[in-house]
A and B are shown apart, each in its own frame.
Chain A
């Protein structure tokens, strides 16, 4: 089997961490590198979290530190959601390996240059690193198969009424990425708010008994509690970032539509909105596969199966 080569660009973050576990547990996927970015927490903390997760999993791939700030705006972080460390809850080992000397943009560029096959970028944080990659090395777009990202929403938001957090953190970067000409799969709130993990699901994961399943359960303990206290209407926790990875392996679990998506960068109320042309008002060509639904029970079964593969 030819594995799908991916680069994870993330800001762990509980759901980023589960996305990493899922990718690592999946024999269909080859992780070529992991890069950090500021978002859920500062880049110092998200980088440390990447190192800790990879150390825990025994996953040895190059890691580089990404951008500490959005392109043009001040950083917004989400300690309310992910705690002061960005990954509050589980006890993780201290990093067992160093990060690369170079920046995230340089590491992604190096991996793309050296790869014989086209690579899929999987950003699950703000799109700052990816936008800067396209500005500095536009020729490397040819080495990218597509982007499968968590961010945005055809309708609604989670940080403002109109904006999802990852896009809101760096709307101009998102603008550059959505205008890049590359195919994008957008795992936005439309689908991630349906990818709900309940307390019962968490117990099921814990009972699998593997190390990876145990870590996933501990991460979800924290994440489900946060959502029960703040967003009880979900009946559990949306598992945002894992959707961007799951779609690569099991697209059959998802329903999607092809639409044109543009980013509002100027608005006062709608800054960071992923304006999705659902009814084709614009004559713009679709640039995005927008995920709109997921078979929740099968998604949970799939996660359980994968968590059982890793020890």
Chain B
């Protein structure tokens, strides 16, 4: 790993698809992941913190992990334990190779961005609570972040409610702060992540692998299987891995510059990322939003990265 590479901080709520996202990030030979900040989301913080460490341990890495916010900024806590299991890893047991850092995620994020102005790429694949706290408490944080890529939101539709994607819905107030902060930002939303489907055949093959990482990747994804009864799913949606993959290779998705704000009122559209596609608000675009996906190219990158673990 070279210091000259992009300096990356991953903010996540690990979570099964977060775990797979971390696995491909950790496998990349040139990536300089400075730290991982955990947030509550899919499951409570008490699970997302150790889960980040478990995945790094599995990958044979020791990236520092920092504990972030245990609760959303202002709304009641909303989680996805039905999807990710009570422990967040669908019941897959993995060893903890090291301990969490003493420094908080907030202090780490703001300190690192302050010391590396313009150089940090933040990839946020959970609710945006930690990022919003950094913006609110540190006046110069937004201008000093190099770039932010998030998994969250949708130009159209939702998955937590009819109008809201889970990561945004889990902390709408935080999302609104982040979208309006002026940080150069790319949104990888449901418009593309719902197309990022990994077939059942790959997962079946991985479950039988001799390699512990590949086999675990298969088991983690297979734990989603109980959700698919009777809904006609064609495979596993890779929301968070696509977000990491996009940062590795921006040609995987096409994007459109849009003005996007977040509904925070307690209405049917609470947590909706409202995208001004027709430019009716007159506001300038604040987000580069993913609108289409080179699916084959993405799946090749993802499968090669996971299977790369068996070739070391």
Contacts and interface: CB of A to CB of B under 8 A. Distances in A.
A103 B107 CA distance: 9
B267 interface: no
Interface stretch (B19-27, B68-76, B183-191): B68-76
A37 B113 CA distance: 22
Contacts of B106: 105-106, 136
Nearest to A129: B137
B74 A65 contact: no
B137 A105 contact: yes
Contact of A103 (B70, B74, B137, B173): B137
A102 interface: yes
A137 interface: yes
B173 A132 contact: no
B84 to A, nearest CB: 23
Nearest to A72: B173
A241 B174 CA distance: 31
18 contacts: A43-B139, A66-B137, A67-B139, A71-B136, A71-B173, A72-B173, A72-B177, A105-B106, A106-B106, A106-B107, A106-B137, A128-B136, A129-B137, A135-B69, A135-B71, A136-B69, A136-B104, A137-B104
Given A72-B264, A136-B106, A176-B74, A67 B173 contact: no
Interface in A35-55: 43
A103 B104 contact: no
List 8 A-B pairs, minimum CB-CB distance, nearest first.
Answer: A103-B137, A105-B137, A68-B139, A103-B138, A136-B106, A136-B133, A132-B137, A106-B107
Nearest to A139: B70
B156 interface: no
A216 interface: no
Looking at A66, A103, A128, the one whose CB has the most chain B CB atoms below 10 A away is A103
Interface string A135-177: 1111000000000000000000000000000000000100010
Given A106-B106, A106-B107, A137-B104, A101 B114 contact: yes
B54 interface: no
Nearest to B176: A72
A59 B74 CA distance: 36
Interface residues of B, number: 21
Looking at A68, A105, A106, A136, the one whose CB has the most chain B CB atoms below 10 A away is A136
B73 A135 contact: yes
B51 interface: no
Interface in B249-296: 264
B243 interface: no
A28 to B, nearest CB: 31
Interface in B91-146: 104, 106-107, 110-111, 114, 129, 133, 136-139
Nearest to B107: A106
A129 B129 CA distance: 16
B110 A103 contact: yes
A106 B74 CA distance: 20
Contacts of B137: 66-67, 103-106, 129, 132, 136
Contacts of B136: 67, 69, 71, 128, 132
Interface of B: 69-71, 73-74, 104, 106-107, 110-111, 114, 129, 133, 136-139, 173, 176-177, 264
B193 to A, nearest CB: 28
Main secondary structure of the interface of A (DSSP, over half): helix
Chain A interface size, under 10 / 10 to 19 / 20 to 34 / 35 or more: 20 to 34
Contacts of A103: 110, 137-138
Contacts of B176: 72
Interface string A72-93: 1000000000000000000000
Contacts of A136: 69, 104, 106, 133, 137
A66 B138 CA distance: 8
A100 B165 CA distance: 39
B139 A106 contact: no
Contact of A72 (B70, B74, B107, B138): B74
Nearest to B138: A103
Contacts of B264: 72
B104 A71 contact: no
A194 to B, nearest CB: 34
Contact of B73 (A66, A69, A71): A71
A128 B139 CA distance: 13
Contacts of B69: 135-136
B133 A132 contact: yes
Nearest to A44: B139
B38 to A, nearest CB: 13
A109 B71 CA distance: 17
Interface string A108-140: 010000000000000000001100100111100
Nearest to A38: B139
B132 to A, nearest CB: 9
A176 B75 CA distance: 11
A63 to B, nearest CB: 15
A43 B110 CA distance: 18
B133 A106 contact: no
A132 B130 CA distance: 11
B74 A102 contact: no
A128 B137 CA distance: 9
